[in-house]
Copies of this chain bind each other. A is one copy, B any other.
Amino acid sequence: MVRQNGVGVQAEDTKICVVMVGLPARGKSFIAQKAQRYLQWLSIPAKTFNVGNYRRNDAPQPTADFFSTTNTEGEKMRRAAAEAAVADMLAWFRSGGVIGILDATNSTKERRRWVLETCKAEGVEVIFVESKCDDENLIMANIRDVKTTSPDYKGQDPEEAAQDFRKRIKMYESVYKSVDEDGDEEDLTYLKMMNVGKQVVINRISDYLQSRVVYYLMALHIRPRSVWLSRHGESEFNLDGKIGGDAYLSGRGELYARKLPELIRQSTGDDRPLTVWTSTLKRTIATARFLPPNYNQLQWKALDELDAGVCDGLTYQEIKNKYPEDFEARDADKYNYRYQGGESYRDVVIRLEPIMMELERSEDILIITHQAVLRCIYAYYMMKDSEDSPWMNVPLHTLIKLTPRAYGTQEERFPANIPAVSTWRGKGSTAKHEDPSGSVM
């Protein structure tokens, strides 16, 4: 069997259930959501099954007593919810799912053994991902978050909600066993994280996809930070409606480069220096050249524009004339279409993967790059799917600031108010400069 691309090697028949483990308010859902987003971005079918959502069908707003070990009725319902979630997950695996994430406390050995055996019987590998936390500040922040966002406490008094939630955590603590705490779970494949990455224990990770997930989770940190994104200033090729190339900035592009330092100060609100990543092409490097000298700058080949191969330097009209079949094939499946001798959006995502890994680990990064590359990076943060992301409008002369939060990413835009052509193109169009008002983003 022949497969393309680097993502999913050896994963052909691999199915993995990532089983979250940990007390409430330890960031399990945050981790699950990040992992799912990362995997989907790499076109790996991934889905989270949250046991709490199943339980809420029968018990929408239970009090802490519901979670007591002596509450047999509560325990029955909680077990039924877990069974329903796992059953749905297994059905999803049978229909082509690759990585299922079981988001629940799974805080006892018995429950973990049951998940393991149930998955094994269907040929699904299991990896336990435990989040432990004894940092009171982190836990309190999570509790605050839960009492304001969890459907369990919707419409209730915040103080009472927090109190009840703390009581619920106590209930779990009484039966909670950390994975392999007693040394009798060493046959399990697991990743244990203390205080989100301060210490990590990895046990029996073997294959490609497992280690990929583990490496990604290890790169996560939860210090608050933002990422700044910008396209290069308007280039001479932009003016001509030509794609690719290595052109200089236009006069207006120069103005944008000169204004960028001010835009950044406006967006940060202080004088802290950012680290700047550009591509190796003239137009991004030129756009960065008026930034303060205490900004470190790094040029990445991996941030170069999508390689248009034989179409490099052509206008869309020229492409349509010269390669009509390619022009049509690209519009039919823009994400997967690979230019002759060039790249597809999928190829760009693969070469960007180490950069995203790096970004998760870093703080205060400004990326100055190109339309297609910026679309891929934006899609990662904003969970745009691969059908839409290649069609998004990312205007020139606009600084974008993204700030990841526990649930989703917050976006701010800072337009430089310096005119520039539009390089957005709608499906089927060969216009040099099209009005993007009908675009996705």
Contact = CB atoms under 8 A, between A and B. Distances in A.
A2 B297 contact: yes
A198 B204 CA distance: 5
Taking the full assembly, how many copies of this chain does it contain? Answer: 2
Given A201-B201, A204-B199, A219-B211, A3 B350 contact: no
Interface string A198-216: 1111111100100100010
Contacts of A280: 4, 338
The DSSP consensus for interface residues of chain A is: mixed
A158 to B, nearest CB: 35
A211 B301 contact: no
A299 B3 contact: yes
A202 B200 CA distance: 5
B12 A296 contact: yes
B6 A300 contact: yes
Contact of A208 (B10, B12, B197, B361): B361
Interface string A276-317: 000010000100000000001111111000010000100000
Contacts of A246: 340-341
Interface residues of A, number: 50
B199 A301 contact: no
Contacts of A297: 1-3
A125 interface: no
A137 B201 CA distance: 24
Interface string A174-204: 0000000000001000000000011111111
A149 to B, nearest CB: 30
A161 to B, nearest CB: 35
Interface of A: 1-6, 9-10, 12, 186, 197-205, 208, 211, 215, 218-219, 246, 275, 280, 285, 296-302, 307, 312, 338, 340-341, 343, 347, 350-351, 353-355, 358, 361-362
A2 B300 CA distance: 11
B299 A5 contact: yes
10 contacts: A5-B299, A5-B301, A6-B298, A186-B199, A198-B203, A199-B203, A200-B202, A200-B205, A205-B218, A301-B351
A347 B298 contact: no
A205 B221 CA distance: 12
Nearest to A302: B6
Contacts of A350: 301-302
Contact of A201 (B10, B199, B285): B199
A6 B301 CA distance: 7
Contact of A2 (B298, B312, B341): B298
A204 B200 CA distance: 8
Contact of A218 (B211, B296, B312, B343): B211
B354 A6 contact: yes
